[in-house]
Amino acid sequence: MNKPLVSLKDLTVQFTGNRKAKALNQVSFELAQGEVLGLLGESGSGKSVTLRTLMRLHPERTTSIGGSIQVAGQDVLGLKGSALDQYRGAVASMVFQEPGLAFDPVYTIGQQMVEAIRAHEGVDVKTAFTRSLQMLERVQIPQARRRLDSYPHELSGGMRQRAMIAMSLVCRPQLLLADEPTTALDATVQIQILLLLRELQKETGMSVIFVTHDIGAAVEVADRIAVMYAGRIVEMGDVAQVVKQAQHPYTQGLLASTVKASDKGKVLMAVPGSPPNLANLPAGCSFAPRCSHATEKCRQDIPQTVLTGDSSLSCWNPVRMWQDVS
């Protein structure tokens, strides 16, 4: 295997401001060039924190970060000043959930894209403008020339998200971080954006980390899926493997509680309880209080992550084991 583009080792993030929380606990994964990883989890599971840490967006004063992040041979946590500025946008770039909030409302889309290009490359305004126009056309925005002169509020939600994607790709990053890019959109627009992302990824060969809470969206774009719970990756593997043969009880619960056509007229298999408080995590496995297969061991010791090839699992009682027993 070639050298991975992204490699996270034992990444631990704690917020130490007014509200204290252990947001990430020893998250490790590797991402190869051209691979799409889907980070799946509920709110508060740490998926957005992972992305924001990769972009170094957390305020340094109130965040303590442990572990290491390597992206394209650079030590991300050690970057400072202009090196960090170059990293953001040119190496790794991010698409946010709310494109309406991520754009600056007082500049046109074109001005913001030109600024982004010129911050990274020494080109004149005209060249930068042409490149912005090409990029907008590439993401299938109709009347791209006119849209360059529009302000963000003049675009519809789907169009704004397309513009956001165009802007994040305009400096040809090697890594695209997409933080729930389709959650705020309608179903018909969501599928358009998912197909567009897949197409652009194939074309540019970039790596993508795609954060979502919607299993369907993850299945549409990802090669691999990592399931997060309470700041840990509890299961990771090939898409087909995670969807068809989930081994962690949480993944199973998540799949079972997603409403499908075949559930009509039946009682849904819900996971009881609610996600734990990140400021005060239980001693053992964080999922143990909600898990129907938890044993004494689960409540005392944090399960170790078992790696087998590309997949990983942290559970004392994986589903396949208790199925064999019964």
Q: Which residues contribute to the site for another protein (CB under 8 A)? A: 42-43, 142, 156-159, 186-192, 194-195, 213-217, 219-220, 239-240, 243, 253-254, 256-261, 263-264, 267-272, 274-275
Question: Please, what is the minimum distance in Å from the beta carbon of residue 61 to another protein?
Answer: 26
| CA–CA dist 198, 211 (Å, integer) | 14
CA distance 294 to 50: 27
Q: How many CA atoms lie within 13 A of 64 on its CB side?
A: 7
Q: How far is the CB of 201 from another protein (least distance, A)?
A: 13
Q: Judged by CB, which is closer to another protein: 170, or 239? A: 239
- Which helix H or strand E contains 238, and what residues bound it? strand 232-238
Strand partners, 88: 92
Give me the least distance between CB of 187 and another protein, in Å please. 5
Q: Which of 136, 254 has the CB closer to another protein?
A: 254
Distance CA 39, CA 214 (A): 10
Instruction: Tell me whether residue 26 or residue 183 sits nearer to another protein (CB atom).
Output: 183
Rounded distance, CA 104 to CA 204, Å?
A: 27
d(CA 96, CA 77): 21
Q: CB-wise, 4 or 157, nearer to another protein?
A: 157
Least Cβ distance, residue 256 to another protein (angstroms)? 8
Cα–Cα distance measured from residue 214 to residue 217, given in angstroms and rounded to the nearest whole number: 5
Least Å distance, CB 67 to another protein, is 27
The smaller minimum CB distance to another protein, of residues 34 and 275, is found at 275
